[in-house]
């Protein structure tokens, strides 16, 4: 894939301005509609997916001692109602990055909430993903009108059965384009992602998604999204495509710059993830942060 000299120079100027000015305003990227091309361009010309732009957080053994004054976050995603056999690690705060059900049916949400109630974490924070169909009210309104055959069990629901579905999550803090501060860390959660096979919380790439990411406060310490930013665990081998969000990448790297970004969504992106998922479990990561600001 070739790029013109003017494209390369424009990208380098943009990078230099970002480095000089620190956090800046994010605009719709010129490669927004083609994430695979965007990855190639920014990887070649800016190294956006390598140090020093990126610091990858590795998992810790579940029984690693916690240093005094630290908060341990346990990060999990895409459990899809398959929590029965999961062995959870020690920690203080649980972060779930969405897709905790198959279709967002009320009985699935109740099952997940019951499981949360058995966990010993002091605080549990959850966002929705594209599988939580009933949490996306606009999606459900269209689905019921169309009686869409692909989601028959969801399309047959009556509005009164799901309009307050979030209230079923009594054992956690649910975030949807909102934030909460726990143990001195400001945590923001959002369920949106680029259009992906017509599921919930789908938006078109570009301005529609950027409008959602613009709601993320600059002072966010931990960002919880369902979808990945471009270039990180977003590769879909069967399609030979990147499916991460360019606007989310720019928001994370150029404006918000959180201490930690937690996400899920693309099962194929990580071999270990796929192996564990087939066993009916899920990839679990935990990280420790010093509480001192």
Residue whose token pair is 């897709």: 99
Percent pLDDT > 70 in the chain is 80
Could you tell me the residue ranges of all domains in the chain? Answer: 5-16+26-290
Exposure class string for 204-220: b at 16+ Cβ within 10 A, else e: ebbeebbebbeebeeeb
Task: Lowest mean pLDDT of 13-17, 252-256, 275-279, name the range.
Answer: 275-279
Query: How far is 102 from 150, CA to CA, in rounded Å?
Result: 13
Looking at residue 2, its pLDDT comes to 52
Task: Specify the CATH number for 5-16+26-290; select among 3.60.21.10, 3.40.50.620, 3.30.565.10, 1.10.150.170.
Answer: 3.60.21.10
Assess whether pLDDT exceeds 60 at residue 139: yes
The pLDDT score that the predictor gives to residue 10 is: 53
Determine the pLDDT at residue 271: 40
Q: What is the pLDDT of residues 18-77, one digit of tens each?
A: 544 456 789 999 999 999 999 999 999 999 988 887 776 676 776 778 888 889 999 999
Per residue in 92-104, pLDDT (tens digit) is 999 999 999 999 9
Average pLDDT over residues 215-226: 96
- The whole-chain average pLDDT of the chain stands at 83
């Amino acid at each position: 894939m070739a790029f013109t000299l003017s494209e390369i120079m424009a990208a380098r100027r943009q990078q230099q301005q970002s480095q000089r000015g620190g956090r800046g305003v994010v605009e719709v990227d010129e490669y927004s509609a083609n994430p695979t091309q965007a990855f190639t361009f920014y990887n070649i010309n800016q190294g956006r997916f390598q140090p020093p732009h990126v610091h990858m957080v590795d998992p810790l053994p579940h029984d690693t001692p916690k240093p005094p004054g630290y908060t341990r976050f346990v990060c999990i995603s895409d459990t899809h109602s398959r929590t029965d056999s999961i062995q959870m690690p020690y920690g203080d705060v649980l972060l779930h990055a969405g897709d905790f059900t198959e279709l967002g049916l009320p009985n699935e949400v109740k099952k997940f909430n019951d499981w949360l109630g058995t966990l010993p974490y002091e605080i549990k924070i959850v966002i929705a993903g594209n599988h939580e169909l009933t949490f996306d009210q606009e999606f459900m309104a269209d689905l019921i009108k169309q009686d869409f055959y692909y989601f028959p069990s969801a399309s047959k629901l009556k509005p009164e059965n799901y309009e307050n579905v979030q209230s079923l999550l009594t054992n956690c803090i649910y975030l949807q384009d909102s934030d909460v501060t726990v143990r001195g860390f400001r945590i923001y959660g959002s369920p949106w992602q680029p259009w992906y096979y017509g599921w919930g919380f789908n938006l078109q790439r570009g301005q529609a998604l950027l409008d959602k990411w613009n709601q993320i406060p600059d002072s966010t310490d931990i960002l919880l999204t369902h979808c990945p930013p471009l270039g990180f665990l977003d590769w879909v081998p069967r399609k030979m495509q990147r499916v991460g969000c360019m606007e989310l990448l720019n928001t994370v790297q150029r404006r918000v710059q959180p201490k930690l970004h937690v996400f899920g969504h693309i099962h194929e992106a990580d071999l270990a993830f796929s192996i564990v998922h087939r066993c009916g479990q899920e990839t679990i990561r935990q990280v420790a942060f010093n509480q001192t600001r």
